Chain A
């Protein structure tokens, strides 16, 4: 994959992830507005539903991909010292992958298949 293609792919992923997050956030706000006080058992049962768990997993995947592309763009624009830029990018990548693994563990522990 060339640099040009990688830029195009980042652009597209940024848009797709943002559209998914907009739909997800609006859906969550609607659900929150419609439901009464949410108890622990209701919350657990909700996340135990595989469809909901997958929707939440997709939200966090979108969030982490979106954050990666956004932070990458910010660093490319504002960090001219190449070594520091690469170190920061590496740190952010490791951090975001760790966050993804954490979410995966949480969701796997609550979902009932």
Chain B
């Protein structure tokens, strides 16, 4: 018989098999923190875009540079994931898809939607 101190504690995240809803949830948080860090850049971009025609041009060109495209891709993923998982939570708040089987399906569905949107975004960047 296991004593209290011998009981296994599966705190190693790589040993825990997380249900898909938990993965959606933690990605919602991670993407939220990324988006929080984006706030000053978004406002700087707004400031630049209204300052002068030259600054407007450089603000528009920001999305053309390959380095910012790469960072931008992470941020676009953050926004897309946070957006769709957020809508999933809002629907749950009004009692849509609250039970376990529905939550599992909607979690996979959200991952699918995010994947499709990201493929479209990357596709439009390559064109």
Q: Which residues of chain A have a CB within 8 Å of any CB of chain B?
A: 15, 18-19, 22, 25, 40, 43-44, 47, 60, 63-64, 67, 70-71, 74, 96, 99, 102-103, 106, 109-110
Contact = CB atoms under 8 A, between A and B. Distances in A.
Given A40-B56, A74-B29, A18 B36 contact: no
Contacts of B46: 103, 106
A109 B43 contact: no
B117 to A, nearest CB: 11
Interface in B4-33: 29, 32-33
**Chain B, interface SS category:** helix
Interface stretch (B70-78, B83-91, B104-112): B83-91
Contacts of A70: 29, 32-33, 36
Contacts of A102: 43, 47
Using C-beta atoms within 8 Å of the partner chain, give the interface range for chain B: 20 to 34
B50 A43 contact: yes
A44 B50 contact: yes
Interface string B45-67: 01101101100110000000000
B53 A40 contact: yes
Query: Which 9 pairs of residues, A with B, have the shortest CB-CB distance?
Result: A40-B56, A40-B53, A67-B36, A70-B32, A110-B50, A106-B47, A102-B43, A18-B86, A99-B39
Nearest to A109: B50
Contacts of B57: 40
B50 to A, nearest CB: 5
A64 B125 CA distance: 29
B33 A99 contact: no
B123 interface: no
